[in-house]
Amino acid sequence: MAVYTGGKFRSCYGPLGAAMPGIFINYRRDDAPGVAGRLYDHLARKFSRGSLFIDVDAIKPGLDFVKQLDSQVSQCDALLAIIGPHWLTAADSKGKRRLDDTHDYVRIEIAPRR
């Protein structure tokens, strides 16, 4: 997990050597990428990039994707969910609402941890 010390997040490492973020930014790529990117850039001016997690691109290849998402989210200090105009109604190719899909990454990231 990331540790907040003296106004800064210090990035730590979790299982399998994956970096643990202090701030996890959750968003739908097709709904609010510009907003999420600008927020990331703004936060990167205040916090180290190592303490920010914005995208699936931050997960190292070869690691279990869902386990890494769960680990990143469960150990972050703050989760920011960017909810754009189509966040709730985003649909898959069959017209089914993506948020209702148990394999939807946005849903996985914001689901309550037990």
Give the pLDDT score at 113: 62
Q: What is the pLDDT of residue 97?
A: 96
Residue 114 CA to residue 106 CA, distance in Å, equals: 17
What pLDDT is recorded for position 57? 64
How many structural domains is the chain composed of? 1
pLDDT tens profile 47-90: 888 888 887 667 778 888 778 888 888 888 889 999 999 999 99
pLDDT of residue 82: 92
| pLDDT at position 96 | 96
Average pLDDT, the chain: 78
Pairing of strands 23-26, 52-53: parallel
Domain region containing 40: 3-110
E-assigned strand segments in 1-114: 3-5, 8-10, 12-13, 19-20, 23-26, 52-53, 78-81
